[in-house]
A and B are shown apart, each in its own frame.
Chain A
């Protein structure tokens, strides 16, 4: 048995196919194709949750994505738990566990429901008033308590084991919604040969035909026609049909995001499949066929479990074969609810009465109700309900009268009318217009190449919808350049035309009433709360929304927005269009983070760039540090060494014998063309005309404002070819900076730039024995000081492969940088490694590189400079060509603030206690005893323990630093004040003799 309320012969599910699931630990049987909601209703379970604020018992209201109440936790296994799943959307799979939310200790006995009794203290806007005093209590009492009480459901604690996919797709026509309108439009568009994507959020297409079984298309049952049409479309090579796929965001230029739920309905999913797949669709044209959502009636205690949309009751009966009650009442302002009564009555359910607040319902439905023997109370309203955990009765009164008649019921179906789903249209930045005749907001001014059709466009007549849809399909395909040979024609019929509808509070919940007539179930917003907001001075609908939180829950007010607006308009004494609708925003329904992130997690979160020699360095035990996307060897600890010991050893080894270093990440740009030198003259402060082929020069690059942008060594390979190096982090932006000037300011120059960073593996060999190490490996290059002096470059071979060999140094020692084509990097590294070993040297990492360069006072752009440092501030004026007529930054350097005194200048700092190592970033003051806030003179930019100096060394930016040489300054720290002496920046080999070996 799959539930006592399953009606034999009703619905479209197959009785033989069952699935077991649990809800709050109790086991139930469902049919394949059931949602959790339909399965629970089949088993007589209406109570599924507690409301957010008052903890009132709540039941299923809808049969779709607009559901405000039936939010549950779904558990597949320990790691796969998802809170806030709409039970009306989630399909049952065998073995699934579900739980109710926002209740303690149990759903039927919830201590939080005390809030309901205290509700006078929880009026709209209470957050803003109640917790104002005492001030300190907010942080320590109110906020933690509110945070603990707030929120629905519990987030999973384990990492999400599922994977998610993402795909870009392009089409001529995207059709959002697979109801009769969307299917017809897709059919017409597809016949033209246009590329069509049709998406529908439900497992099966058909839209309203899920509940309206009176529809026939070309004589065929509507739902059956829909399935066949979708299947036919899916067979066409130019069509993609996506079910269980929600269009959740409509962005600029017809960029629409869809989420396809791939495995959430499957009991034992193929783990190769993604759980969800995001489609990022770029459509030439979009057809919006998202239908309409039925509004509930707003009256006292309209939130008891068992009170639901009339159309939802029809869906449960006609699609799932489930009767939502055995004795149902109907309360409506609209003809559509009558059909729910008819369907249920024919299925054997007792219809206690149809209560219609209108004096004159549609004649056809009234006649049909009478012929079925259903009592219709026109001009009457339901003014209250009874029942604790499920509705048990309704109090009915003639409009304007207080005389009540109590009618026993076990379900109450309500309908205030239909709200066109203009969410996608509004997200596209289209402007909605109020249609007074239908009392609805409809698409008005379009902002993008899209078209709304059917119920979301206010078209309710079935045949009119089909004709509008077919025309739209043709039109949109034609606009994309496709035309059909013949027209598609369809004839559809249904049982009744609907009239009527209302928005706002119904009888008994109007002005001056204090009953709880809910408009937003999930956020517990009542009609009276809207009125309170208006009384408190909120006159903009946006303010009213935020004050009351109406429409701000996970359902985004799909049921409540129009009701809230109508009540606000009434209270404000203004018309609905003057008050205006709040803006719809993506996502239409909640989207998992997994889907939004899709592939970008773990190893694929961001590219991790490794040098060609990475594996060898790893094998040698290197510890790596992140430098942008790069992994760089930081230091190479040997057995028993900590970082400090390893770095000290590496530093000493380089100065005493030889070290080797992976410098491959340095940016490299090949600058080629007859005007290459002329171009570099403009880009760098230095002059390049005089640099001979085979020689190198250290260059500084400024921005136009005169501040240091990047630096590096440039080698001239030939008259028309330069090998430019940049900082590791600057490679991409320097390339962009150079391209920008070349293309837009200096396009007359015949020169081209090519990134060669990754063409070359670079191994720096530094130290007194550097030449000895490479001598036996290099062919065709005379390595002597005379033939190959410091700051030179030669082309030759190393171990038989071509090399660009640089004689340069970032350590102050004699140094070479071996550039080889990257694939050869590992082999050359190993060959050099063997020679270094023989010479008693070692490999060193970036930490040692940093210390060795600091010992020599070589700056690192971006560490010792921060975008406000001029060449002069960094004592690099020698690199600025004084006679050059132009270079980028030449004018910036002359700006008054850049030449005046009092600038921060780069200097060395020596702590009075040589054992104390300053913290980088620490502030510097002249007088540590001055009152706070102290006058800061600058900060420490680089600071290290230098084993070679036997003491700490530091570099700092200090106001007028160069004039303060020898002076004592102070670095105040939380626990002490450190005295320092301002020094020159070169701490070792001031004469630079070591460069020559």
Chain B
């Protein structure tokens, strides 16, 4: 029996939001939790084809691949083309830890003039553009869940969360989006 089993996405069927902010599930992506010391950053960047950011709250994006600084030795790599990130990281030949978290996380996209207010319904961070610019990213809290936030445009965020928190996060985002227009 070699038939590839079908995937069931954690947020299949969800759509929400309001006129001021839409909330929709992101397409499946491959993801890597990448850990390494500073001396491995250059080699890993070369192997992954994306510059691993070394400043807090910074991210790099290129061709559907994103590298998010989560901590001084921690990055979340997201590839929207579902490329094999584990093999790329392994090819670096330098000491690191790479763990596939493609299915651990799922993501929601929040877009619209009310996106900032939508997130601020549960996220205590200052999301103004001066403090949280496009490309800014952070692990933080959203209500009672942990999320990773990436600002993809002035009016758009990608919200990553663990899959079992997705109903809670999407539900609170939907309420926040409803309120964000008023």
Chain A positions within 8 Å of B, measured between CB atoms, are 163, 165-170, 195, 262, 272-274, 277, 280, 282, 599-600, 603-604, 606-612, 629-630, 670, 672-674, 750-752, 754-760, 776-777, 779, 797, 799-801, 820-828, 831
Q: What is the CA–CA distance of A273 and B6 in the complex, to the nearest angstrom?
A: 40
Of all chain B residues, which has the CB nearest A759? B104
Interchain CB contact (< 8 A) of B120 among A167, A606, A610 = A167
Of all chain B residues, which has the CB nearest A272? B178
B5–A756 CB distance below 8 A: no
Query: Which B residues are in CB contact (< 8 Å) with A606?
Result: 144, 168
B103–A672 CB distance below 8 A: no
18 contacts between A and B (CB under 8 A): A163-B175, A165-B175, A168-B122, A195-B128, A599-B122, A609-B165, A750-B95, A754-B35, A756-B99, A758-B163, A759-B101, A759-B103, A797-B2, A800-B5, A801-B4, A821-B102, A821-B103, A825-B8
Query: Which A residues are in CB contact (< 8 Å) with B117?
Result: 167
A678–chain B nearest beta-carbon distance, Å:
14
A603–chain B nearest beta-carbon distance, Å:
6
A-B contacts besides A167-B121, A280-B124, A612-B163, 18 pairs, CB < 8 Å:
A165-B175, A167-B117, A167-B179, A168-B120, A170-B126, A170-B131, A606-B144, A609-B164, A611-B164, A670-B99, A752-B35, A752-B73, A800-B4, A822-B103, A823-B7, A823-B28, A825-B8, A827-B7
Query: Which A residues are in CB contact (< 8 Å) with B148?
Result: none
A169–B120 CB distance below 8 A: yes
A607–B165 CB distance below 8 A: yes
A607 and B73 in contact, given A759-B103, A800-B3 (Cβ under 8 angstroms):
no
Query: Which A residues are in CB contact (< 8 Å) with B7?
Result: 823-824, 827
A957–chain B nearest beta-carbon distance, Å:
33
Closest 9 CB pairs of A and B: A827-B5, A609-B164, A752-B97, A752-B35, A672-B97, A607-B168, A800-B4, A822-B103, A759-B104
Of all chain A residues, which has the CB nearest B36? A752
Query: Which A residues are in CB contact (< 8 Å) with B113?
Result: none
Interchain CB contact (< 8 A) of B126 among A282, A607, A629, A825 = A282
Give residues 137-171 of B contacting A (CB, 8 Å). 143-145, 162-165, 167-169, 171
Of all chain B residues, which has the CB nearest A607? B168
B95–A674 CB distance below 8 A: yes
A508–chain B nearest beta-carbon distance, Å:
54
A779 and B104 in contact, given A604-B172, A827-B8 (Cβ under 8 angstroms):
no
A776–B1 CB distance below 8 A: yes
A673 and B95 in contact, given A167-B117, A607-B168, A756-B104 (Cβ under 8 angstroms):
yes
How many residues of chain B have a CB within 8 Å of chain A?
Answer: 52
A599–B172 CB distance below 8 A: yes
Query: Which B residues are in CB contact (< 8 Å) with A779?
Result: 1-2
A590–chain B nearest beta-carbon distance, Å:
23
Query: Which B residues are in CB contact (< 8 Å) with A672?
Result: 35, 97-99
Interchain CB contact (< 8 A) of A756 among B4, B73, B101, B167 = B101
Interchain CB contact (< 8 A) of A612 among B8, B124, B176, B182 = B8
A828–B5 CB distance below 8 A: yes
Query: Which A residues are in CB contact (< 8 Å) with B3?
Result: 799-800
B101–A799 CB distance below 8 A: no
B16 within 8 A of A: no
Q: What is the CA–CA distance of A600 and B143 in the complex, to the nearest angstrom?
A: 8
Of all chain A residues, which has the CB nearest B131? A170
B88 within 8 A of A: no
Query: Which A residues are in CB contact (< 8 Å) with B73?
Result: 752
B102–chain A nearest beta-carbon distance, Å:
7
B179–A607 CB distance below 8 A: no
Query: Which B residues are in CB contact (< 8 Å) with A824?
Result: 5-8, 103
A758–B179 CB distance below 8 A: no
Query: Which A residues are in CB contact (< 8 Å) with B143?
Result: 599-600, 604
Q: What is the CA–CA distance of A401 and B90 in the complex, to the nearest angstrom?
A: 100
Give residues 16-57 of B contacting A (CB, 8 Å). 28, 33, 35, 37
B67 within 8 A of A: no
Query: Which B residues are in CB contact (< 8 Å) with A282?
Result: 124, 126
Query: Which B residues are in CB contact (< 8 Å) with A820?
Result: 5
B175–A800 CB distance below 8 A: no
B167–A608 CB distance below 8 A: yes
A604–chain B nearest beta-carbon distance, Å:
5
B123 within 8 A of A: yes
B171–A165 CB distance below 8 A: no
A9–chain B nearest beta-carbon distance, Å:
36
Q: What is the CA–CA distance of A800 and B3 in the complex, to the nearest angstrom?
A: 5
Q: What is the CA–CA distance of A754 and B96 in the complex, to the nearest angstrom?
A: 12
Q: What is the CA–CA distance of A240 and B28 in the complex, to the nearest angstrom?
A: 38
Q: What does the 1/0 interface line of B81-96 toward A look like (CB < 8 Å)?
A: 0000000000000010
Instruction: Give the residue among A751, A758, A760 with the most B Cβ atoms within 10 A.
Output: A758
Query: Which A residues are in CB contact (< 8 Å) with B164?
Result: 607, 609-611, 629-630, 758
Query: Which B residues are in CB contact (< 8 Å) with A825?
Result: 8
Q: What is the CA–CA distance of A822 and B106 in the complex, to the nearest angstrom?
A: 11
Query: Which A residues are in CB contact (< 8 Å) with B33?
Result: 754
A799–B5 CB distance below 8 A: yes
A722–chain B nearest beta-carbon distance, Å:
11
A607–B95 CB distance below 8 A: no
Q: What is the CA–CA distance of A5 and B114 in the complex, to the nearest angstrom?
A: 46
Query: Which B residues are in CB contact (< 8 Å) with A827?
Result: 5-8
Query: Which B residues are in CB contact (< 8 Å) with A756?
Result: 99, 101, 104
B82–chain A nearest beta-carbon distance, Å:
12
Q: What is the CA–CA distance of A172 and B159 in the complex, to the nearest angstrom?
A: 27
B179–A277 CB distance below 8 A: yes
B8–A166 CB distance below 8 A: no
Interchain CB contact (< 8 A) of B97 among A165, A274, A277, A754 = A754
Of all chain A residues, which has the CB nearest B4? A800
Q: What is the CA–CA distance of A610 and B28 in the complex, to the nearest angstrom?
A: 19
B87–chain A nearest beta-carbon distance, Å:
13
B105–chain A nearest beta-carbon distance, Å:
8
A758–B104 CB distance below 8 A: yes
B110–chain A nearest beta-carbon distance, Å:
15
A607–B144 CB distance below 8 A: yes
Q: What is the CA–CA distance of A230 and B20 in the complex, to the nearest angstrom?
A: 24
Interchain CB contact (< 8 A) of B162 among A758, A776, A777 = A758
A604–B121 CB distance below 8 A: no
Of all chain A residues, which has the CB nearest B2? A800
Of all chain B residues, which has the CB nearest A824? B5
Query: Which A residues are in CB contact (< 8 Å) with B172?
Result: 599, 604
Of all chain A residues, which has the CB nearest B169? A607
A165–B121 CB distance below 8 A: yes
Query: Which A residues are in CB contact (< 8 Å) with B126?
Result: 170, 282
Q: What is the CA–CA distance of A339 and B105 in the complex, to the nearest angstrom?
A: 67
B91–chain A nearest beta-carbon distance, Å:
16
Query: Which B residues are in CB contact (< 8 Å) with A801?
Result: 4-5
A168–B123 CB distance below 8 A: yes
Of all chain A residues, which has the CB nearest B174? A604
A755 and B165 in contact, given A282-B126, A607-B145 (Cβ under 8 angstroms):
no
